[in-house]
Amino acid sequence: MKVLIIALDHQIRDALEAQLKTRGQSYESVGLEWVRHEGPVDTQNPPLTIANDIAIVVNALSLECLEQHLADEELIESLALLAQTCEQAAIPILQLSNSQVFDGTEGGRHGEADEVVPVSRVGALLSRMEELLRGSCDRHIILRTGPVFSAEGDNLITTLLSKFQHSVSLALCNDVDSCPTHAQDLARVISAIIDQLSCGCESWGTYHYSSSDPVNEYQFAETVLAVASQYIQSPDQPLKLEAVATADSDWSRPLMNCEKLLNTFGIKQLPWRAFVVPTVKTILQQLSTDKNGDEP
């Protein structure tokens, strides 16, 4: 089963390619330029072309282009073209989404059948994309996840490490939880779903996956700082982390129940903490290499 990965050239694409390569799975990767289209579209003959040997499409742009790269309507139109192309070619599609489609006001963990109540532009856009895919492709998987982190690009950990280097004090939210998910862990889940689809599994629909162990922003930063302190020289003035309660933090993501994924595909949740040490180590080693390379 050859996989077509549609993703930006950083953390999700890198993790998926590495995972599929490890599994001996063939793949092809395309980026934003592949889905861009200008001018009128013939809906009976979509301008996108998928090679005959592609057996499934993984669309990460649905998650990656929410804040930049594509305007909202351009993203919707691009997804519509992709969905039409996949449906006409009888190729299933796995699309990434996240828990921002929920409002999280009732607490607890949201299940896949819970009512979607987005309270942000991002959540509303994700909801529109999910509905578009459901109405366009019979054979689809929508995989909602949590905030993704890795050693690549701008994400939770890379942003924190940058702040550690340029701050003496950080105020961090400690009253709302989230379930950060490493890109490598997300790739593991996607690969496992693809493996079972290739064996004839027809369990299409919406699923949830995030790492186990909910954590607030302050606790996550404490963990990252403790790891980073093992690899970097202590500054003259130690960094101070301050726990605050604030409604302005963008850390909060509604928590999700992931039992449906476990019961259907047998995929277990892994703790995000298991990925922090290698991720921080990789980032700091790269920073050290870059710094030494800049020295005369």
| % of residues, the chain, pLDDT over 90 | 65
For 231, the token pair is 């690899």
Range of the domain at 206: 2-150+181-210+255-271
Q: Is the pLDDT of residue 179 over 90?
A: yes
**Residue 229 counted as domain residue:** no
Q: Are 98 and 145 within 8 A, CB to CB?
A: yes
**Residue 159 counted as domain residue:** no
- Identify the band that residue 168 occupies on the pLDDT scale cut at 50, 70 and 90: confident
**Residue 236 counted as domain residue:** no
**Residue 164 counted as domain residue:** no
Nearest to 153 by CA among 189, 190, 185, 183: 183
**Residue 90 counted as domain residue:** yes
Mean pLDDT, all residues of the chain: 89
Residue range 150-160: average pLDDT? Answer: 91
Helices (H) and strands (E) in the chain, counts: 10, 12
For 237, the token pair is 């003035």
Determine the Cα–Cα distance for residues 15 and 81; give it in Å rounded to an integer: 26
pLDDT tens for 22-79 read 999 999 999 988 887 665 555 565 678 899 999 999 999 999 998 778 889 989 999 9
Domains in the chain: how many in total?
1
Residue range 258-271: average pLDDT? Answer: 97
pLDDT tens for 85-113 read 999 999 999 999 999 999 887 777 999 99
Q: Domain holding 186: CATH number? A: 3.40.50.720
CA dihedral over 241, 247, 253, 257, signed as positive or negative: positive
pLDDT the model gives residue 294: 54
The answer to whether the predicted template modeling score (pTM) of the entire model surpasses 0.85 is yes
Determine the Cα–Cα distance for residues 280 and 228; give it in Å rounded to an integer: 6
Nearest to 181 by CA among 159, 158, 155, 163: 155
